[in-house]
Structure 1
Amino acid sequence: MAYQALYRVWRPQQFKDMIGQEVVTRTLKNAITTKQISHAYLFAGPRGTGKTSAAKIFAKAINCHHQTDGEPCNECDTCQAITNGTLNDVIEIDAASNNGVEEIRDIRDKVKYAPTVADYKVYIIDEVHMLSTGAFNALLKTLEEPPANVIFILATTEPHKIPATIISRTQRFDFKRIAASDSYSRMTYILDQKGVTYDEQALKVIAKAAEGGMRDALSILDQALSFGDNEITLDNALLVTGSVTHELLATYMQQVVAGDTKAALATLQSVLEAGKDAERFSEDVIGYARDLLLYQQAPQMVEEAEMGSVSEDFQTLAQQTPASAMYAMINELNAIQQQMRYTTHPDVYLEILTIKLAEIGRQKTASTVAPTGTATAPEQPAANASELASLQREVEQLRTTVKHLEQAPTTPKAATKPRITKQAPVKEVNLAKIYPVLGAATRDKLNQLQEVWPDILNSLSTSQRAVMKVSQPVAAADSGVIVAFDYSFLYQRATSDQELTDALENGMDRMIGTALPVVFVPKEEWPTIRKNYLTAHKDELQNTNHEPAESQAPQSNPVVAKAEELFGSVVDVKAD
């Protein structure tokens, strides 16, 4: 038989085998033993936490004639058929690839037929949030009043995308992230059963890298086994996960907290030369800084998360580092991590990050040491004067480099200085699409769209949401919507991303009932475009005012009235 991945071989077959979901398993077992079984369930939670496994165990338990205390026997023909996926009465559907109305209508037509072998016909719909609006509507009535002996189990990683009408017709169970200690215990059990030698520290690294997913932990463990020829060592685990050793991470943090910029940059260089992932390194540093901060307030939480492996160096650093320094460092880490997602030169950002962190550490340490009146305090400014001047020059050079990188397109070849200075995003704006929207735009339509804009962004994928995070609708009509971007390089990326445009239009269709065409503009060019439109259509706006002057109050300027209609009362009127 072909080799099977660990997460498939060691998939839970009973509720007692599931890790870290005691509340869910206990509730389901009690429902089975007391025969209080609902017709529809919703299993929501992060990936790899046991949603589909729980659904299959539940399907076995309710159809097993030999179940005890809500646990299936896994020996009868029905249990074995469900485990092997050969029982026709338990249907597993992937909504990511079967998300249309026709597929759901097919379920609705077949659900009326009684089960052939089992007592209950069970439909397990995985990633149910991928269903289209029409598919959800087709499922709604069947889900509300299904035929007897039919049970629906919906599984999803994004429950916020499921309509409230669907959620209200199910019993919802939230699967939580699996603690690193539970993942560690499960991996030690599996390796002991397989007779594989392992390093405990290596398993702790894998457990933390899995970020709460048991399936992810077993996948990384499988990869480490292949890399190390059926032996798990700390070096192999670090190479597979891309993590940095705890000692190297501690050294880096000690150097930046002490304000030793040169040593910290040298440590960073050794990390990058070892082939470590830049984003992974920044995540490790954020996690370390967070642990330092937590250890000052709740040491037991950090000891539990680190599974008892808190070193003396860590404890000393936590005691000596001011909390204000940790706050400032975490803010810088978060800001740099956001910027690194859109660059092809993450090493530059890490160097800037190192200099900023060391500067924070130096300032905070100096502010806490100065009042003590030590003999070394007066020598500090003189000793660092030349180094400070050198660092300031280096910071200016790096800022200039980052500014050029942010303005350049995503491909490295386009990042030449002449193109940066000659870029003019306004030339790429499609005025032929913008002006018709402005001509029919209303403030009410814009207000309606602004109210649901956060919900529309939440419906996007993670990468799409990151691009649209710094955008906002600035004009809207029944014929379209204009969206402005704070940064021109994100505007360029959004303009060339047709999938993003389609996702926005689908989101508006779901939220306001109309899929409005979307036009993108850079924020810095929007006032000019708006002004040019009002100027170019001044005569047309004047001609729209046909009411006699004597039948109304003194007539306001039609151009100003149109501007206020488009953009609200924030219009600043100036004389020509």
Structure 2
Amino acid sequence: MESLYRKYRPLTFESVVGQQHIVSTLKHAVAEGRLSHAYLFCGPRGTGKTTMARILAKSLLCEGSEAARATGASGCMPDGTCPECEAIAAGTHPDVYELDAASRTGVDNVREEIINSVSFAPVRGAYKVYIIDEVHMLTTAAFNALLKTLEEPPSHVVFVLCTTDPQKILETILSRCQRFDFHRISNEDIVGRLRFICEQEGFAFDEEALEIVARHARGGMRDALSTLEQLSVFGDGSVHVDDARSLLGEVASTVLSEFACKIAVRDTVGLFGLVRVQADEGNDLMELTHDLVAHVRDVYTAAIAGPKTELFDGTPEEVAALVEEARLFEGADRLARALTVLDDAALEMRNASDPRLVLEIALTRLARPETDLTLEALAERLARLEAQLAVGVPSGPMDAAQLAAAAGPH
């Protein structure tokens, strides 16, 4: 059985999702014959860099490409169905060379597969296209060997360099390429594509399950399709929200709201109880912490910007709930500190022998700043004292009962 991400890999410009700024530019370049001899495709994994490189190769070698360009109708190229396009999709076209620089990094590989063959004329088409994936993995010697070819390539050659880390590529290489930055695909676009695939495959699905998959894909369509396939197998042809939460460690938004509210009112005991429930249910506490960081970020945004729905992915009702949560905190500064503490905890949990303890300590620091001697915590305590003085709490010495009443719940 063919995997979903291979089966539904875009074959034409029109089927690409979420990268319209690149699609539009490349289509115009092909239509007008204004091609660069070298392109650099940058972006996170799973956002379509190699797929776009193959589609560009198809648009140059498609059987109808020359006639279409002559008549000004090349906007519909490639058609994705001719023998040339099918050979490129299958990786068997003699004029399209794909080099995986992650496994073939040396100068000898570059000389053998590129430099020694670049001057030969195309076998079947008007162009030869070299696609180098993970190009940042090439050695310095390999880059230098490639540089001369990039400087003065034959007119029939087009290079497409793909990378997730353009900072590692030599400036001399970057300056000779036309650069395109691939964006993380929006959750809305990913959900739309997942919905389409479920309908095509006959999968029963919960809309919320698709939203969970999209969030965890973090802008990568390939990761989203791999997760969807795993869920469909697990659910015997169905994609259910409970299965998605179980597989991905997703925490319900209501639970995250509970955590945020208890942090806001400084309910340490309640926070420990929530952590215990999550641990007893077998949920991944590191994933919980990541989800909590994302949720508190939304609350922080609500505290700064108010109910401006264009800044959020949720419904107007969900945005209104975030605004209400933000009001429970004394201000945006406290939320900013919460984000810092939770993010530090998420990093520390990776190598901790007891991730639960790390999370509990972080929550204690947020609920009881008097236990934390950092400057941020001291600033929060001063802000609380100023707020108490503003509402008439005595500023002079107080006995133990008055101190307890002024401090509020911990």
Alignment counterpart, residue 58 of structure 1, candidates 56, 59, 62 = 56
Alignment match, 2:344: 335
CA distance in 1, matches of 2:316, 2:392: 38
Q: Please give the alpha-carbon distance, in whole angstroms, between the structure 1 residues aligned to 2:388 and 2:76.
A: 63
Cα contact 1:104–1:139 (8 A) shared by 2: yes
Alpha-carbon separation, structure 1, partners of 2:366 and 2:181: 38
Looking at structure 1, the residues matched to 53 and 136 of structure 2 have their Cα atoms a distance apart, in angstroms, of 17
Secondary structure, counterpart of 1:172 in structure 2? strand
CA-CA distance at 1:14 after TM superposition: 1.0
Deviation at 1:296, TM superposition (A): 2.4
- Cα gap change, 1:264 to 1:380, in 2 (>3 Å): farther
Q: Deviations over 1:476-501 (max 9, x none)?
A: xxxxxxxxxxxxxxxxxxxxxxxxxx
Is contact 2:309–2:319 with CA below 8 Å preserved after alignment? no
Which residue identity does 2:360 align to in structure 1?
E
Q: Conserved in 2, the CA contact under 8 Å of 1:258 and 1:365?
A: no
CA distance in 2, matches of 1:140, 1:385: 67
Structure 1 counterpart of 2:89, one-letter code: T
Q: 1:43 is matched with which residue?
A: 41
| Distance of 1:282 and 1:247 partners within structure 2 | 15
Q: 1:244 aligns with which of 251, 269, 282?
A: 251
Q: Distance in 2 between matches of 1:211 and 1:380?
A: 49
**1:161 to 1:303, Cα distance in 2 relative to 1, 3 A:** closer
Q: Write the distance in 2 (CA, Å) between the matches of 1:75 and 1:385.
A: 72
| 1:33-182 mapped onto 2 (5 Å cutoff) | 33-67=31-65, 68-69=74-75, 71-106=77-112, 107-182=114-189
Deviation at 1:276, TM superposition (A): 2.2
| In 2, Cα distance between equivalents of 1:226 and 1:232 | 9
Q: Structure 1 residue aligned with 2:303, among 287, 290, 296?
A: 296
User: Which residue does the alignment assign to 2:70?
Assistant: none
Q: Quote how far apart the aligned CAs of 1:339 are.
A: 2.2
**How many Å apart are 1:383 and its aligned residue?**
5.2
Q: CA deviation at 1:157?
A: 0.1
Q: Does 1:382 align with 2:382?
A: no
Unaligned runs of 5+ in 1: 389-576
Secondary structure (helix, strand or coil) at the match of 2:318 reads: coil
Runs of 4+ in 1 over 4 A off after TM superposition: 360-370, 383-388
2:98/2:132 contact within 8 Å kept: yes
Pair 1:32 & 2:22 matched = no
Q: In structure 1, what is the equivalent of residue 199 of structure 2?
A: 192
Match of 1:565? none
CA distance in 2, matches of 1:52, 1:211: 18
Change (3 A) 1:219 1:308: farther
Pick from 318, 340, 350 the counterpart of residue 310 of structure 1.
318
Q: Kindly provide the amino acid, as one letter, of the partner of residue 77 in structure 1.
A: P
CA shift, 1:220, in A, is 1.4
Q: Hey, what's the Cα distance between the residues in 1 that align with 2:11 and 2:124?
A: 20
Q: Give identity over the alignment, percent.
A: 39
Q: Aligned equivalents of 2:181 and 2:192: distance in 1?
A: 22
The corresponding residue for 1:457 is none
2:291 alignment partner in structure 1: 284
Question: TM-score, length-normalised on structure 2?
Answer: 0.87
Alignment correspondent of 1:534:
none
Distance 1:201 1:66, change over 3 A: same
2:353 aligned residue: 344
Q: CA deviation at 1:301?
A: 5.2
Of 351, 367, 373, the residue aligned with 1:358 is 367
- Return the index of the structure with the highest Cα Rg: 1
Which shifted more, 30-39 or 203-212?
203-212
Deviations 1:496-553 (A, max 9, x none): xxxxxxxxxxxxxxxxxxxxxxxxxxxxxxxxxxxxxxxxxxxxxxxxxxxxxxxxxx
- Mapped partners of 1:326, 1:278: distance in 2: 21
1:552-576 per-position Cα deviation (integer Å, ceiling 9, x unaligned) = xxxxxxxxxxxxxxxxxxxxxxxxx
Match of 1:212 in 2: 219
Q: Is the 8 A contact 2:266 2:409 kept in 1?
A: no
The residue identity in structure 1 corresponding to 2:288 is F
Number of the residue aligned with 1:526: none
Aligned residue number for residue 371 of structure 1: 390
Which AA in structure 2 matches 1:79? Answer: C
- Compared CA separation, residues 370 and 248, structure 1 to 2 (3 A): farther
Three-state SS of the structure 1 residue aligned to 2:75 is coil
Once residues 267 and 230 of structure 1 are traced to their aligned partners in structure 2, the CA distance between those partners, rounded to angstroms, is 33
Residues 388 and 406, structure 2, Cα contact 8 Å, conserved in 1: no
CA distance in 1, matches of 2:40, 2:250: 35
Q: More displaced, 312-321 or 83-92? A: 312-321
Asked whether the 8 Å contact 1:41–1:170 carries over to 2, the reply is yes
Q: State the shift of 1:76 in Å.
A: 1.6
AA aligned to 1:314 is: L
Q: In 2, distance between residues paired with 1:339 and 1:69?
A: 51
Instruction: Output the CA distance in 2 between the equivalents of 1:191 and 1:50.
Output: 20
Q: 1:233 to 1:315 in 2, by over 3 A?
A: farther
1:323 and 2:345 correspond: no
- Give the CA RMSD over aligned residues: 2.4
- Pair 1:66–1:367, CA change in 2 (3 A): farther
* TM-aligned CA deviation for residue 258 of structure 1: 0.9
- Gaps of at least 5 residues in structure 2 are 66-73, 370-376, 394-398
Shift of 1:367: 5.7
Equivalent residue, structure 2, for 1:566: none
Q: Deviations for 1:204-263, whole angstroms, at most 9, x for unmatched residues?
A: 111111111111111111122122222122211111211211111111111111111111
- 2: CA distance between counterparts of 1:29 and 1:386? 63
Asked if the contact 2:261–2:328 (Cα under 8 Å) also holds between the matched residues in 1, the reply is no
Displacement, 1:307?
A: 5.5
Could you say what secondary structure the match of 1:250 adopts?
helix
How far apart are 1:387 and its partner, in Å?
A: 7.9
Which structure has more RCO (C-alpha within 8 Å, separation ≥ 6)?
Answer: 2
**Counterpart Cα distance in 2 of 1:262 and 1:132:** 55
Cα pair distance change 1:153/1:309, threshold 3 Å: farther
CA contact (8 A) 2:262 2:271 kept: yes
The alpha-carbon deviation at position 381 of structure 1 amounts to 3.7
Matched position secondary structure for 2:368: helix
| 1:72/1:338 CA distance change after superposition, 3 Å | same
Aligned residue for 1:262? 269
For residues 488-507 of structure 1, what are the structure 2 equivalents within 5 Å? none
Correspondence 1:561-576 to 2 at 5 A: none
Check 1:162–1:301 CA distance in 2 against 1; reply closer, same or farther (3 A cut): farther
CA distance in 1 between counterparts of 2:407 and 2:155 reads: 82
